[in-house]
Amino acid sequence: MQKNPTYEETLKGKKSKIYIDCRTPSEYKKSTISGAINIPTLLDNERAQIGTLYVNGDVEKAKMLGVDAVSKRLPEMFKQIQELKKQYENLYFFCARGGYRSNSIVSVLNALDERVYKLQGGYKYYRNYIINNLPRLIDSVKPITLYGFTGTGKTSILKELSSLGFKILDLEGYANHRGSLLGNIGKNEQFSQKKFDSLLFDDLKKYENSYVFVEGESSKIGKVTVPKQLLDKMNDGIKIYIDADIDFRINEIKNIYLPDFGNDNSLMKEFIKKLEKYISSERMQKYYNYIDNGDFDSLLKDLCLKYYDINYNIPKVKFEKNYMNVNSKATAKKIAEDFKNILN
């Protein structure tokens, strides 16, 4: 009888592998094992119906509905799996806890003489593995943190540093949120905490014991919480300050955010409305007038100087280096040059 491995055990082998998430599409979307694909045994509505039957005590009917649902998709699933077998030596199936959903499909495939495996403990084991190992990886990296007011080009500089081949932690990318009032404009639904942790874990694992550039963040990016241990490491590590004049900042914000509004003034007002508990009704009306008149420069200038700059918490410390950003690509190159002794 073949042994079904844990996620941790699958990391030790050198054979090519792929993880296959048997859970519903919505479960997969919320969080999954890194690199996994979704071949659901049950769709969302089917799982809901079966769950209701179980709760109501109609276990036999629930089982029959499950068998019927899987049977309908089995030919297409088998075809997908045969194609994957051509590309990967090991196929690892998992569901929430390594139970019925992954066990059923693996049993059927094994009976058809297809050598595939079920992950013991399913996604829950993987999640615990991430939680247990994240502190060790955070402790191993050496952050160089970019601080500065909104619009000074920190994110652009970080991307330029990445394009130059330097290691970065893209916290806003892991959250799928820009971390500000307008943080999720132009983005799809914000990633879950579980997905954020997994993406952070993946990069930390690649960068173990290395210097990494990262943008200074608060403890929350949208609804996601940045690990306190990482924030402490950033606070204790090398800190650099990015400055820029107000015209640069206005243009930077316009380039990042305005295309996402698609000339939809009502959408812009909807997001600005989130400020109404922090500023006066007179200023809110002034902002609405700026939007109606297409005067985005005045809107952004006022937001920067009278809202963002006042509320942005810049550490009261001596920074290792200070940069006046007029061109993010040039600033990234200057940072790389200034820190070449420790980065090489």
Instruction: Give pLDDT, residue 257.
Output: 80
Q: From CA 275, how far away is CA 289, in angstroms rounded?
A: 15
Q: From CA 331, how far away is CA 129, in angstroms rounded?
A: 38
Instruction: Give pLDDT, residue 317.
Output: 81
Domains of the chain with bracketed CATH: 7-129 (3.40.250.10), 141-343 (3.40.50)
pLDDT in tens, 145-177: 999 999 999 999 999 999 999 999 999 999 998
Among candidates 221, 166, 160, 231, which has minimal Cα distance to 196? 221
Listed in sequence order, the residues at least 6 apart from 62 whose beta carbon sits closer than 8 Å to its beta carbon are 50, 51, 53, 54
pLDDT in tens, 120-153: 999 999 999 999 999 999 999 999 999 999 999 9
3-class DSSP state of 192: coil
Q: From CA 249, how far away is CA 155, in angstroms rounded?
A: 12
Name the least confident of 107-111, 128-132, 247-251, 313-317: 313-317
Instruction: Give pLDDT, residue 183.
Output: 56
- Residue 100 confidence class, pLDDT cut points 50, 70, 90: confident
Instruction: Give pLDDT, residue 278.
Output: 85
Instruction: Give pLDDT, residue 319.
Output: 95
> Quick check: 201 and 127 in contact, CB under 8 A?
no
pLDDT in tens, 10-32: 999 889 999 999 999 999 999 99
pTM above 0.85, yes or no: yes
pLDDT in tens, 242-273: 999 999 999 999 888 877 676 778 888 888 88
- Residue 181 confidence class, pLDDT cut points 50, 70, 90: low
Q: From CA 240, how far away is CA 259, in angstroms rounded?
A: 30
Instruction: Give pLDDT, residue 1.
Output: 54
Check pLDDT > 90 for residue 295.
Answer: yes
Rounded to an integer, the average pLDDT of 178-183 is: 66
pLDDT in tens, 191-209: 999 999 999 999 999 999 9
> Quick check: 30 and 22 in contact, CB under 8 A?
no
- Residue 180 confidence class, pLDDT cut points 50, 70, 90: low
Q: From CA 187, how far away is CA 196, in angstroms rounded?
A: 15
> Quick check: 114 and 289 in contact, CB under 8 A?
no
Helix (H) or strand (E) holding 76: helix 59-87
- Number of neighbouring beta carbons within 10 Å of residue 280: 9
pLDDT in tens, 324-344: 999 999 999 999 999 998 886
Give alpha helix (H) positions in 112-243.
122-140, 154-163, 171-175, 193-206, 228-236
Rounded to an integer, the average pLDDT of 113-117 is: 92
pLDDT in tens, 208-243: 999 999 999 889 998 999 999 999 999 999 999 999
> Quick check: 95 and 122 in contact, CB under 8 A?
yes
> Quick check: 328 and 248 in contact, CB under 8 A?
no
- Structure-model confidence comparison of residues 276 and 288, the more confident one: 288
